[in-house]
Structure 1
Amino acid sequence: MGHIELSGVVGDGHQTRDVLELARLGKVPVLKRNFGFMSMLAFSCTVMITWEAVLFLFVISFMNGGLAGSVYGFIFAWLGTLSVFATMGELASMLPTAGGQYHWISRLAPPSTRKFLSYLVGWLTVTGWQAVVASGGFICANLIQGMAVLGNPNYTPKPWETTLLLWAVIFLAVFINTIVSRALPKIESLIMILHIVGFFAILIPLVYMAPQGKASDVFTVFMNGGGWPTTGLSFFIGLLGPVFAFGGADGAVHMSEEIKNASVVVPRAMVFSIMLNGIMGFGMLLAVLFSIGNVDEVLKSDTGYPFLAIFQQGVSSTGGALAMAGIITTLAIVAIISWIASASRMLWSFARDRGIPGWRLVSSVNERNSIPVIAILVTTVIACLLSLINIGSSVAFNDVVALSVNGLYTSYLIGNGLLLWRRLAGHIHNSSEPEDSSLGIEKLSWGLWRLPEPIGTFNNAFGCAFLLIVLTFSCFPAENHPTSSTMNYVVVMEGGILICAVIYYLIWGRKTYKGPVIEVEL
């Protein structure tokens, strides 16, 4: 175990702070800090691709909620996500590490449970992000096939073709994350430009060319397409659509050790990206709902994506619809670049703390370009293997998609809940106050990003309530009285992962995982 003296830290103010903050967490800096605020804002926006996701996921809230339910469900999901990540920004400022949730919990949980609880959250976050990569590739492959059907109605997509397309998308993202990794901040900035320009390229034709519906319908007409006992229950089940659209907002957290001035930039990037993406997502949602046209024809589209039929109806041109769809598909494909970056850093960090099998190999960092190449390759292999499930059953693979949200949101809830307990108990000191050396491992102090009280406590509590609602209804199927093919098996999948994690912990993990490893001391 190394030792850092304050006098040995050189560089500008931000570099010094980054080194010291990481050292206080017991970590040695090994990754290059290539990201600044604008490049990380671009990274965060393109991780979520909210307005793009609104298009290919809006049918979820439309079927359970209708026109008005889609509008109010998006607003609720937007406010809830903003609340959750304002609180997570406080945590990221206190403890700016790539491990994120499991590292925070190792400091926030009571001593008697912190080791095991942080271990379980580490597994949930790792598997959640691995599922994000696989599900993102699946969506991209389906979008490509949907465009093929739109251009050639005689084409019938095959599951094995979906898997091969998924592999192609993943390999492209891996190439950028490894071979040209040094250019990643610039690439993310270019993608951000496309993200904004593409928004207007889709929005303007829909608004000016498509027949427009009535505002009274968009803001007052609810629908219970799932056949649930009440429209209110149907509305909450439909929340999964807009919640998916804001998924992956913690991607910036797992890039913390590659960001300059991380304790300030990470929370700002997360919050500003949710605000910006929320504005664009809400605008696109309204444009689609006003332009929906013939609902029955849209929902029965052979492409598998109703928004493609809305495009075709709206611009009265298959070629124009394909051009618009090409923008969406391109942005979804380049989002995989950010997802693999975040997923691999999370995997690398947990391996660094000896939480997974093969941790010695996975935690290695390439000396030439200072990136976790092995973690990137493992993430690639996992995504490719998960995609094979689709060949046997697309229903089973859909549960992998649901797992990506359920696993991550569970980790958010535990972290947010423990922070709420700590702040109500008065265990967190102001950063300007001298820390009591008698507190030992219990030492907690606020970072540079903090919501003023009582706003911070109220926001923290609201975020926990929102997460409980999301997790509860994420376990419901889309329709009442489901069959075996429409049942939601996410509880079974997440339970299975936790059982495997516990078995590994009891046999091997408890011997190697002691919580975040202390590599260096101040």
Structure 2
Amino acid sequence: MAHIGNGKAEPASSLVDVSKGRYSIDGVEDGDAADDIYSRVNPARPGFTKHDQKDMYRMGKIQELKRNYRPLSALSFAIVLTAVWEFLLVSNTQGLVDGGLAGVFWSYIWTFIGFGFVELSLAEMASMAPISGGQYHWVSEFAPPKYQKFMSYITGWMSTLSWQAGNASGSFLTGTMVQALLVVNYPDYVWENWHGTLLVFAMVLLLYIVNVWGAQVWPRIQNGLLILHVLGFLAVIICLWVLAPHQSAKSVFTEFTNAGGWPTMGLSLMVGQITAIYSLLGSDATAHMAEEVRDAGRYVPMSLFWSYVGNGLMAIIFLATFLFSIKDLEEALADPTEFPFLYVFKTAMPNSGVNALTIIVLILIIAANISFNASTARQTFAFARDKGLPFSHWIGHVDAKREIPQNAIVLTCMVTVLLSLINIGSSTAFNAIISLQTAALMSTYTVSVSCVLYRRFAHPELIPTARWSLGKFGIPINVVGLCYCIFCFFWSFWPNERHVNPQNFNWSVVLFMGVFFISLLMYIIRGRKVYRGPVTDIRAPRLD
């Protein structure tokens, strides 16, 4: 066997170094022998299959986390976390402003199709290398040898910060939903930013308790949450079908709105598509839980793909129902709760019904936040394990008793708390930080898909076997996925309205460049000295 290292086949040493998570053993040429040696170094645990042993051995990592997720619970985790119809319900303002009813619907359709090629590409890479690191690991393994260390490090920082920003946005969203319900029930309620921050604190406490103290039972709860996800979907659409006033089909499917003041309707639609993009972000979450999924090389990509398809199709039905139920678009956008969906609920039913449906949606989004927090912590843990972050030893520590990256969970919760404090002084500044998620995550997708596409052309013999493979369609799917990532990345920086001011300007472009330059600085100061990239631990057959 040999380590790929910086793209060169080098003889493996005879040292078995468990403490650093790497194993180099001379004389091992067949997979079964490698499995046998890995089993002796790192005995199998419940749920740890032979395929998992092969994958972990090839990637040079030890099995520190407990594989609690079975195939169905992994699929349920992906579906509940992504929560596409729920996020379309509560985060549709920009699409309604820039595009209107028809704009939201058709932009979702093309986003669902276009992002599907990205999802297929990510699913295959998750099968090639089922590991918590996700994008930065794939970049390290597939990038040109000359650039893999630098590209992987920058991608790791972008991925870590995008997931941390997304985690904060989820907690903030639940806080503002609670405040909106207070407005519905108590019209004299005065909306204060610090109220929202306190609600974020409560949300973070719940995230910490469940992801630390309830980590062993949370996978078992996923299937029940999947049922609630479906029942909640049915409850919302049936209530709207039966009780809400309805628009005409012509209004929903052909009438576009350009309330943002853009020169053309086409430009308005491009800006407004961020609603659809945001609803589908995070579809790769299960990839970061790969080290806790049984037979991850098969079931992680399956959960990524089928959760995307299932959620996406449900969202089409929901979106059409919701758009038909918007009695007056201008009134919906001007609703005092700042949530158009609450306007729709109020036109269809009394406050008791509004409360009931909103609480169901709120529970589902809180469940998504819990899973999102878990996935964020695993990605952060993995990058620290590869020495990509400061204080890596502490962040990358695994609690031996609970078999979870507890310190990474603590850090993730602390980041959300600190970011929420910004909201007290300026909600615009806080929203700017959480808007970083879309651009940063799209940049990691772009680099990841680019690197696997490069590897397909330059050294296809170095691509690991994927049990969930795109086969002969890999190259065209990767090409389309890459083009779509670049397309989304470009539009993610645009403001909501043409005439911008400090309040409505999309500050994500400033923050993205700031994060990029900070990661460059970190690479110069620290990364180039201590970060080697996970590819240096990869085992592969000799090229000769």
Which of 111, 116, 128 lines up with 1:82 in the alignment?
116
Q: Distance in 1 between matches of 2:208 and 2:116?
A: 30
Q: Unpaired runs of 5+ in structure 2?
A: 1-16, 26-33
Q: Distance in 1 between matches of 2:483 and 2:523?
A: 30
How much does 1:452 deviate?
3.0
Which of 460, 475, 478 lines up with 1:428 in the alignment?
460
Residues 188-217 of structure 1, C-alpha deviation per residue, up to 9 Å, x if partnerless?
A: 222211111111111101011111111111
Counterpart of 2:139? 105
Q: Distance in 2 between matches of 1:192 and 1:60?
A: 28
Q: Distance in 2 between matches of 1:345 and 1:352?
A: 10
**Aligned Cα root-mean-square deviation (Å):** 1.6
Counterpart of 1:385? 418
Q: Unpaired runs of 5+ in structure 1?
A: 430-442
Which of 494, 502, 510 lines up with 1:484 in the alignment?
502
Counterpart of 2:373? 340
Give the letter aligned to residue 56 of structure 1. Answer: V
Counterpart of 2:482? 464
Counterpart of 1:204? 238
How much does 1:57 deviate?
1.5
Q: Distance in 1 between matches of 2:537 and 2:450?
A: 28
Counterpart of 1:69? 103
Residues 249-298 of structure 1, C-alpha deviation per residue, up to 9 Å, x if partnerless?
A: 11101001011111111111011011111111111111111010022221
Which of 471, 476, 484 lines up with 1:452 in the alignment?
471
Task: Using structure 2 for the length normalisation, give the TM-score.
Answer: 0.90
Counterpart of 1:7? 36
Any idea what SS the aligned residue of 1:396 has? helix
Counterpart of 1:500? 518
How much does 1:59 deviate?
2.1
Counterpart of 2:12? none
Give the letter aligned to residue 451 of structure 1. Answer: L
Between 177-186 and 396-405, report the one with greater CA deviation: 396-405
How much does 1:519 deviate?
6.3
Residues 29-53 of structure 1, C-alpha deviation per residue, up to 9 Å, x if partnerless?
A: 1111111111111111111111011
Give the letter aligned to residue 355 of structure 1. Answer: G
Asked if 2 retains the 8 angstrom alpha-carbon contact of 1:25 and 1:518, the reply is no
Q: Say if 1:105 and 1:517 are closer, same or farther in 2 by CA, change over 3 A.
A: closer
1:150 and 2:179 correspond: no
Counterpart of 2:11? none
1:250-269 aligned at under 5 Å gives the runs: 250-269=284-303
Counterpart of 1:439? none
How much does 1:13 deviate?
10
Asked if 1 retains the 8 angstrom alpha-carbon contact of 2:236 and 2:357, the reply is yes
Counterpart of 2:82? 48
Q: Distance in 2 between matches of 1:505 and 1:180?
A: 36
1:514 and 2:532 correspond: yes
Q: Distance in 2 between matches of 1:188 and 1:219?
A: 35
1:24 and 2:24 correspond: no
Counterpart of 1:433? none
Give the letter aligned to residue 195 of structure 1. Answer: H
Asked if 2 retains the 8 angstrom alpha-carbon contact of 1:67 and 1:219, the reply is yes
Any idea what SS the aligned residue of 1:266 has? helix
How much does 1:187 deviate?
1.9
Q: Distance in 2 between matches of 1:338 and 1:143?
A: 19
Asked if 2 retains the 8 angstrom alpha-carbon contact of 1:173 and 1:334, the reply is no
1:286 and 2:320 correspond: yes
Give the letter aligned to residue 381 of structure 2. Answer: W
1:264-343 aligned at under 5 Å gives the runs: 264-315=298-349, 317-343=350-376
Any idea what SS the aligned residue of 1:217 has? helix
Any idea what SS the aligned residue of 2:439 has? helix
Counterpart of 1:399? 432
Asked if 1 retains the 8 angstrom alpha-carbon contact of 2:127 and 2:301, the reply is yes
How much does 1:517 deviate?
7.5
Asked if 2 retains the 8 angstrom alpha-carbon contact of 1:51 and 1:280, the reply is yes
Residues 7-36 of structure 1, C-alpha deviation per residue, up to 9 Å, x if partnerless?
A: 243769971110111111111111111111
Asked if 2 retains the 8 angstrom alpha-carbon contact of 1:64 and 1:235, the reply is yes
Any idea what SS the aligned residue of 2:484 has? helix
Q: Distance in 1 between matches of 2:338 and 2:365?
A: 16
Asked if 1 retains the 8 angstrom alpha-carbon contact of 2:446 and 2:486, the reply is yes
1:370 and 2:403 correspond: yes
Q: Distance in 1 between matches of 2:329 and 2:488?
A: 27
1:409 and 2:409 correspond: no
How much does 1:515 deviate?
0.8
Q: Distance in 2 between matches of 1:521 and 1:248?
A: 29
Q: Distance in 1 between matches of 2:539 and 2:111?
A: 41
Q: Distance in 2 between matches of 1:458 and 1:360?
A: 41
How much does 1:93 deviate?
0.8
Q: Distance in 1 between matches of 2:270 and 2:479?
A: 19
1:243 and 2:277 correspond: yes
Residues 100-138 of structure 1, C-alpha deviation per residue, up to 9 Å, x if partnerless?
A: 100110111111110011000000000011001111001
1:35 and 2:64 correspond: no
Q: Say if 1:506 and 1:155 are closer, same or farther in 2 by CA, change over 3 A.
A: same
Give the letter aligned to residue 512 of structure 2. Answer: E
How much does 1:446 deviate?
3.1
Between 210-219 and 139-148, report the one with greater CA deviation: 210-219
Give the letter aligned to residue 265 of structure 2. Answer: T
1:88-167 aligned at under 5 Å gives the runs: 88-167=122-201
- Identical-residue share of aligned pairs (%): 36
Q: Say if 1:424 and 1:509 are closer, same or farther in 2 by CA, change over 3 A.
A: closer
Q: Say if 1:517 and 1:371 are closer, same or farther in 2 by CA, change over 3 A.
A: farther
Asked if 2 retains the 8 angstrom alpha-carbon contact of 1:133 and 1:336, the reply is yes
Give the letter aligned to residue 6 of structure 1. Answer: D
Q: Say if 1:217 and 1:182 are closer, same or farther in 2 by CA, change over 3 A.
A: same
Q: Distance in 2 between matches of 1:80 and 1:270?
A: 16
Q: Distance in 1 between matches of 2:146 and 2:361?
A: 48
Between 462-471 and 370-379, report the one with greater CA deviation: 462-471
Q: Distance in 2 between matches of 1:494 and 1:143?
A: 27
1:194 and 2:228 correspond: yes
Any idea what SS the aligned residue of 1:181 has? coil
Q: Say if 1:184 and 1:519 are closer, same or farther in 2 by CA, change over 3 A.
A: farther
Q: Distance in 2 between matches of 1:508 and 1:102?
A: 17
Q: Distance in 1 between matches of 2:36 and 2:355?
A: 60
How much does 1:464 deviate?
1.2
Q: Distance in 2 between matches of 1:377 and 1:57?
A: 28
Which of 402, 419, 433 lines up with 2:452 in the alignment?
419
Counterpart of 1:227? 261
Which of 393, 412, 415 lines up with 1:360 in the alignment?
393
